[in-house]
Structure 1
């Protein structure tokens, strides 16, 4: 259960910062200095760093993650944000799977029960949560998470070394494999050479 949730005082800066990230080169570390470089020098803007860390866009040391790459991609950013919101606020989604569309009182009530914080703290959490949800796309959020999971699964699978290998054929409930063998015959007019090759194939491959 979450003890707290991240928040920003200047929530209106979150979207401009995300949009600035798209145009800027991916930094080795997402730091206060980097924020200044992309035009956000206010001390209140710095709260976006712990927010991004909690959302999974940055590691604890400030290094951008693969989710940060999605944030830079204009075709993925808002669905990626939706997926990360569902992960960060998983305790709220355990209460209501559509919590991003719930009323203010419902969200605050859930936050209060989950964190045990007072109304002032919950109000801050809610303001940031609402800002994030207003930007995010949730219909595609599950798809974005699935894509990452599928990519991870593919990395774990053994891929065939020969791209021409046929798929396993199931016969009588037992798995089997079919191979295509290509034979490059030598250029010769001596028919005995071919006879010797085919005789060897018949004896060794039982064909």
Structure 2
């Protein structure tokens, strides 16, 4: 959805909120137009701006047909609110480029921005700000950041567990062999030709025991 620089506004932001809430509990229409607005109780001319606003944030396509953002976002319950937030960010791209947390900004800050980027008079600017803030109520702008933070915390927890495991092994080795001592393991592989003479094996093991005893005595 391409962003635009318009700022739709309605004289009745409270009715806009009521309308969006109503859409969450009724069937999905094939198209939202003035006739549909009247059929669900919003026949006033003040309700007409609802349609361009919904197109701006991606809830309707250019013909007024509900989009996937409408079905999975607006009607997706709590999980759909992140999708709504993404649609609002795209529709009001120029606002969010200046204020990444535009949904939290004061009316005065937003009014200054809207005024400098449009030819709306002060009254219409005020309505545009209230309209923007009303639609923002349906989005969850912190969900993506929260999910990323959760993943970072999980990674940190795994790293901490690995570090604790490594330190535990080091402490165990130091406790068994004296603090600060170095443990050296030597593996010796010997081979004997296959034979049925048991004396050969007896002689082999006797010689091995003799040499190992010498190494032990020398290290004492």
Q: TM-score range by the shorter chain?
A: 0.5 to 0.7
Asked if 1 retains the 8 angstrom alpha-carbon contact of 2:5 and 2:92, the reply is no
Q: Partners in 2 of 1:26 and 1:20 — Cα distance? A: 11
Deviation of residue 67 (structure 1)? 0.7
Asked if 2 retains the 8 angstrom alpha-carbon contact of 1:7 and 1:128, the reply is yes
Q: Partners in 1 of 2:22 and 2:144 — Cα distance? A: 22
- What does residue 63 of structure 1 align with? 65
> Superposed, which structure 2 residues align to 1:20-169 within 5 Å?
20-69=22-71, 70-140=73-143
Q: Partners in 1 of 2:122 and 2:43 — Cα distance? A: 30
- What does residue 6 of structure 2 align with? 4
Deviation of residue 33 (structure 1)? 2.1
Q: Partners in 1 of 2:15 and 2:46 — Cα distance? A: 9
Deviation of residue 48 (structure 1)? 0.7
Asked if 1 retains the 8 angstrom alpha-carbon contact of 2:4 and 2:91, the reply is no
Tell me: CA distance 1:103–1:35, structure 2 relative to 1, closer, same or farther (3 Å): same
Tell me: CA distance 1:3–1:71, structure 2 relative to 1, closer, same or farther (3 Å): closer
Higher Rg: 2
The alignment's C-alpha RMSD in Å is: 2.4
TM-score (norm 2): 0.58
Deviation of residue 141 (structure 1)? 6.0
Q: Partners in 1 of 2:146 and 2:54 — Cα distance? A: 21
Q: C-alpha offsets along residues 2-44 of structure 1, whole Å, 9 cap, x if unaligned? A: 5431111111012221222122221111122222222222221
> What are the ranges of 5 or more consecutive residues in structure 2 without an aligned counterpart?
148-220
Would you say how many aligned residue pairs link Structure 1 and Structure 2? 144
Q: C-alpha offsets along residues 75-115 of structure 1, whole Å, 9 cap, x if unaligned? A: 33433322222111111111121122122221111222222
> What are the ranges of 5 or more consecutive residues in structure 1 without an aligned counterpart?
145-207
Asked if 1 retains the 8 angstrom alpha-carbon contact of 2:33 and 2:51, the reply is yes
Greater helix fraction, Structure 1 or Structure 2: 2
TM-score (norm 1): 0.61
